[in-house]
Amino acid sequence: MIEAAAAGVATRFNLDSLLAGTSVAIPAFRIPIDGGGAAGKAAEVRFDAADLYGAKGPQAADIRQDALGDCYFVATLGALAQQQPDAVRNMISFDASTGNFTVRLHDGNGNPQSVQVTQAELEDNLARQGGSTADNNGLDGPIWPAVAETAYAKIHDSNPADGLTEGYNAIANGGWPQDAMQAITGDRGDEIRYSEGFFESENSALDRMAGQVDAALSNGRPVTLWTVPEDRSFWDTIRGNEGTQDGLVDNHVYVVEGVHKNADGEWMATVRNPWGTNMNVGEGHDTESATMEVPLRTLADTGGAEAFTVGPAPR
The catalytic residues are 71, 252, 273
- Pairing status of strand 24-25 against strand 5-6: parallel
User: How far is residue 304's CA from residue 185's CA, in Å, rounded to a whole number?
Assistant: 27
Q: Which residues have a Cβ under 8 Å from the Cβ of 285 and sit 6 or more positions away?
A: 245, 246, 247, 278, 292, 294
User: How far is residue 290's CA from residue 8's CA, in Å, rounded to a whole number?
Assistant: 16
User: How far is residue 301's CA from residue 223's CA, in Å, rounded to a whole number?
Assistant: 21
Does 159 sit near Ca ion (CB under 5 A)?
A: yes
Pattern of binders to Ca ion over 182-221, x per CB under 5 A?
----------------------------------------
User: Binding residues for Ca ion, how many (CB under 5 A)?
Assistant: 12
Q: Which is nearer to Ca ion, 304 or 311 (CB)?
A: 304
Stretch that binds Ca ion, among 116-124, 208-216, 243-251, 267-275 (CB under 5 A): 243-251
**Smallest gap, in angstroms, from Cβ of residue 160 to Ca ion?**
5
Stretch that binds Ca ion, among 45-53, 84-92, 179-187, 299-307 (CB under 5 A): 299-307
Letter for the amino acid at 296?
A: L
Q: Phi, psi at residue 79, to the nearest 5°?
A: -65, -40
Does 124 sit near Ca ion (CB under 5 A)?
A: no
Does 157 sit near Ca ion (CB under 5 A)?
A: yes
- DSSP annotation of 39 reads G
Does 250 sit near Ca ion (CB under 5 A)?
A: yes
Among 21, 63, 64, 147, binds Ca ion (CB under 5 A): 64
Q: Which is nearer to Ca ion, 173 or 188 (CB)?
A: 173
Separation of CA 113 from chain center = 21
User: How far is residue 23's CA from residue 275's CA, in Å, rounded to a whole number?
Assistant: 7
Helix (H) or strand (E) holding 238: helix 234-239
Residues forming beta bridges with residue 172, ordered by sequence position: 174
Does 162 sit near Ca ion (CB under 5 A)?
A: yes
**Smallest gap, in angstroms, from Cβ of residue 129 to Ca ion?**
5
Among 124, 135, 257, 306, binds Ca ion (CB under 5 A): 135
**Smallest gap, in angstroms, from Cβ of residue 252 to Ca ion?**
8
Among 3, 89, 99, 166, binds Ca ion (CB under 5 A): 166
User: How far is residue 255's CA from residue 72's CA, in Å, rounded to a whole number?
Assistant: 10
Q: Tell me which residues touch Ca ion (CB under 5 A).
A: 64, 66, 135-136, 157, 159, 162, 166, 246, 248, 250, 304
